[in-house]
Amino acid sequence: DIQMTQSPSSLSASVGDRVTITCRASQTISSYLNWYHHKPGKAPKLLIYGASKLHSGVPSRFSGSGSGTDFTLTISGLQLEDFAIYYCQQSYSPPHTFGQGTKLEIK
Amino acid sequence: QVQLQESGPGLVQPSQTLSLTCSVSGGSINRGSYFWTWIRQPAGKGLEWIGRIYTSGGTNYNPSLMSRVTISADTSKNQFSLKLTSVTAADTAMYFCARGYGGSSSEGVRLDYWGQGTLVTVSA
């Protein structure tokens, strides 16, 4: 299985801040990398697919970059609704493994 | 708008079979190039990809669960299902169903619609 490692595991920030979350794959996955946002008790939401493509309806303050083994998710201008858990996921080969998650908390 | 809703028993006895159903509305499960997927999340842990069934009926499973898991579809009810046999406490988790969509070959498959999840506890 391809292992996905996110950093940091948790992050404190303020409304308006710019934050970056990284995700590293244990082997090359080209650009087959997705990012999700999850608030407990709700359905996870797709933010970014193909490493850098914004899913329909997702605000432009979210952006993704990277290819191969190293990827980043950047949120520019945090809003209250962005405080949640973020997961990366590879879709290069099944099983489509997830990172362990990054909890974004209000400072 | 596609919507998915998980249903099934919230409590399963150890060694028994966990059975869940995902009802899909707003779109047919046997049209288009979709992958109907199950994911789970044990309390306090991350997401684990369980497996998927293609629109064509083919399946992929997580090797760690392959000997115990079956995903099937009932197109007449627009539902797909998960069966996990010989459950233990380690199978206690929130279970999610989701739709996988693969666009161009450069984009890969992403899970674009998810259910809210259903909690399954394995306990006597």
Q: How far apart are alpha carbons B60 and B53 in whole angstroms?
A: 7
> What residues of A are in contact with residue B116 (Cβ under 8 Å)?
41-43
Helix, strand, coil share (%) of chain A residues, nearest 5: 5, 50, 45
pLDDT in tens, A12-27: 999 999 999 999 999 9
Chain A residues whose C-beta sits inside 8 Å of any chain B C-beta:
1, 30-34, 36, 41-46, 49-50, 53, 55, 87, 89, 91-92, 94-101
Q: Which tokens in the block code for residue A14?
A: 């303020």
pLDDT of residue B104 exceeding 80, the answer is: no
Q: Which tokens in the block code for residue A96?
A: 């489509």
To probe the interface with B, which of A49, A71, A98 has the most B CB atoms within 10 Å?
A: A49
pLDDT in tens, B8-39: 999 999 999 999 999 999 999 988 889 999 99
